[in-house]
């Protein structure tokens, strides 16, 4: 809102400092400060309100240390994160940006699904919450919206530097066709292309289903190449592969974040680390000079995601003020499902979804621990007549609780692992 208001007022009045609002870094700084303040200041009132209304969580008896102390702790704290995210984004981001619009839809959509789940648990006294099939339906529907938007919207594009026209600077006419490489003396000009002493090389923005493959020199991969293995008409059938992959990513990451939310501060801290990693990718992918220097995909308009990511990092850190051990409030599914959906969508938008298994390694291990535990239990029960377990308890963090590790130590160690994974993820920009 401020971005558009200042831009409009600047047409009529010479407002001192108005050009600061053109700066991504300034608006990102304002977003993270605002989200921190909102989550910390208003979070206190929300915690008090939930306590007063006795909107607390009934913790299942799993035989874990400290369970009794958590009974009655207010839940639905994800509302603090969502409010501290949405308000700064509305204030400081470009609201006509396709990626900002898409991420706001994801935030509200997944927040509503999580809220319904928490509402049923708290007010309907149904420990199962929203039925699994309805959660999956909501996640699949959201994945379908994101996939269709990416596939059909002309506003979703990347800058193609691999096929560019060459123009004669004096005559302004094409010298002929497409070429596939830069001149060695070329220099990137933001928003234009490459210029050398003899001609002007113009790049162009294209609608593409390309993504990034980590640790490879030529690191771009087009989903259309999968279809090309089966039919020569692959451009018309890419959606058959592309959209299901988007749905799978959204569902897997949101469920991974949901499973990770089992210890005080665990999901919040890990999510903040993941989002900060994506903030770095948004900054370099949205800057044509840095993208060219790092030889990565330049995504026009994606720099606005720095503001969204900064607001979410601030919201998560501010929420930790109340959610760190011992937690004064739980985020509930209202927060965890939304965080997972946002992280997945950010990775998809930035064409870094193939990095999710590395970047979101904590979510992946939590997911896998549940899948392996259930599969092994069923297999051994069928084969030996009694179910056996791989872990003491799943998800994985409960395994370490059963082993006797203090909750706070488990959380901090998971954070440390998350930071290590984030560092490795970021250096994939250069290690190929």
pLDDT confidence of residue 283? 96
pLDDT(432) > 70: yes
pLDDT over 90 for what percent of the chain? 55
User: What's the token pair of residue 403?
Assistant: 């082993």
404 φ, ψ to 5°? 100, 5
More confident residue, 197 or 205: 205
pLDDT confidence of residue 66? 61
pLDDT digits (tens, 9 = 90+) for 348-376: 999 999 999 999 999 999 999 999 999 99
How far is 51 from 28, CA to CA, in rounded Å? 33
pLDDT over 70 for what percent of the chain? 83
| Confidence at 181, pLDDT banded by 50, 70, 90 | very low
Other CB atoms within 10 A of residue 174 CB:
13
154-158, 186-190, 387-391: least confidently modelled range: 186-190
Q: How open is the CA angle 165-167-168, to the nearest 5 degrees?
A: 160
Query: Is 325 in contact with 411 (CB distance < 8 Å)?
Result: yes
The listed range with the strongest mean pLDDT (115-129, 216-230, 382-396) is 382-396
pLDDT confidence of residue 193? 43
pLDDT(124) > 70: yes
pLDDT(187) > 80: no
How far is 118 from 127, CA to CA, in rounded Å? 9
Query: Is 258 in contact with 368 (CB distance < 8 Å)?
Result: no
The β-bridge relationship of strands 174-179 and 187-189 is unpaired
Can the peptide bond before residue 395 be classed as cis, meaning omega within 30 degrees of 0? Answer: yes
Query: Is 186 in contact with 199 (CB distance < 8 Å)?
Result: no
User: What's the token pair of residue 112?
Assistant: 């509503």
The listed range with the strongest mean pLDDT (186-195, 215-224, 236-245, 373-382) is 373-382
| Confidence at 180, pLDDT banded by 50, 70, 90 | very low
pLDDT digits (tens, 9 = 90+) for 247-300: 999 999 999 999 999 899 999 999 999 999 999 999 999 998 898 888 888 999
pLDDT(169) > 80: no
Domain residue spans of the chain: 22-155+240-427, 158-231
How far is 65 from 162, CA to CA, in rounded Å? 58
pTM: 0.88
108-117, 145-154, 156-165, 350-359: least confidently modelled range: 156-165
How far is 175 from 171, CA to CA, in rounded Å? 10
Nearest to 305 by CA among 341, 276, 263, 269: 276
pLDDT(69) > 70: no
pLDDT confidence of residue 61? 59
How far is 368 from 391, CA to CA, in rounded Å? 11
pLDDT confidence of residue 199? 42
pLDDT confidence of residue 138? 95
State the chain's mean pLDDT as an integer. 84
| Confidence at 17, pLDDT banded by 50, 70, 90 | low
Nearest to 94 by CA among 308, 239, 402, 337: 308
pLDDT(27) > 90: yes
pLDDT(96) > 80: yes
pLDDT confidence of residue 57? 67
**First-to-last CA distance in the chain?**
41
pLDDT digits (tens, 9 = 90+) for 29-66: 999 999 999 999 998 889 888 888 777 666 665 667 66
Nearest to 165 by CA among 156, 183, 180, 177: 177
| Confidence at 149, pLDDT banded by 50, 70, 90 | very high
pLDDT confidence of residue 235? 66
Dihedral of alpha carbons 5, 7, 13, 19, sign? positive
User: What's the token pair of residue 95?
Assistant: 């609201």
């Amino acid at each position: 809102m401020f971005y558009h208001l200042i831009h409009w007022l600047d047409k009529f009045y010479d407002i001192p400092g108005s050009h600061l609002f053109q700066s991504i870094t300034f608006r990102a700084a304002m977003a993270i400060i605002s989200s921190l303040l909102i989550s910390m200041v208003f979070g206190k009132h929300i915690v008090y309100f939930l306590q007063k209304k006795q909107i607390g969580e009934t913790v299942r008896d799993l035989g874990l240390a400290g369970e009794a102390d958590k009974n009655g702790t207010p839940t639905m704290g994800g509302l603090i994160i969502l409010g501290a995210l949405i308000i700064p984004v509305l204030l400081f981001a470009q609201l006509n940006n396709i990626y900002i619009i898409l991420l706001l839809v994801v935030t509200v959509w997944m927040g509503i699904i999580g809220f319904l789940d928490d509402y049923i648990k708290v007010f309907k006294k149904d420990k199962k919450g929203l039925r699994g099939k309805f959660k999956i339906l909501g996640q699949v529907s959201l994945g379908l919206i994101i996939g269709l938007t990416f596939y059909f919207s002309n506003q979703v594009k990347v800058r193609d530097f691999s096929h560019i026209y060459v123009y004669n600077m004096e005559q302004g006419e094409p010298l002929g066709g497409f070429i596939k490489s830069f001149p060695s003396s070329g220099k990137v000009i933001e928003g234009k292309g490459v210029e050398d002493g003899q001609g002007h090389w113009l790049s162009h923005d294209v609608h593409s289903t390309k993504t990034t493959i980590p640790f490879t020199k030529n690191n771009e991969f087009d989903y259309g190449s999968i279809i090309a293995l089966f039919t020569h008409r692959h451009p018309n059938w890419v959606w058959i592969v592309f959209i299901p992959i988007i749905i799978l990513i959204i569902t897997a990451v949101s469920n991974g974040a949901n499973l990770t939310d089992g210890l005080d501060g665990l999901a919040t801290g890990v999510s903040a680390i993941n989002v900060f990693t994506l903030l770095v990718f948004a900054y370099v992918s949205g800057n044509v000079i840095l993208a060219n220097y790092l030889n990565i995909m330049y995504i026009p308009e994606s720099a606005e995601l720095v503001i969204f990511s900064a607001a979410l990092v601030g919201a998560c850190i501010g929420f930790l003020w109340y959610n760190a051990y011992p937690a004064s409030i739980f985020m509930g599914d209202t927060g965890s499902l939304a965080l997972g959906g946002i992280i997945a969508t950010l990775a998809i938008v930035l064409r870094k979804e193939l990095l999710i298994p590395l970047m979101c390694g904590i979510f992946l291990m939590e997911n896998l621990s549940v899948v392996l535990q259930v599969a092994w239990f069923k297999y051994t029960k069928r084969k030996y007549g009694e179910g056996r377990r791989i872990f003491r308890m799943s998800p994985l963090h409960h395994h370490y609780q059963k082993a006797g590790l203090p909750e706070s130590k488990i959380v901090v160690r998971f954070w440390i692992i998350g930071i290590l994974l984030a560092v490795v993820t970021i250096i994939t920009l250069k290690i190929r």
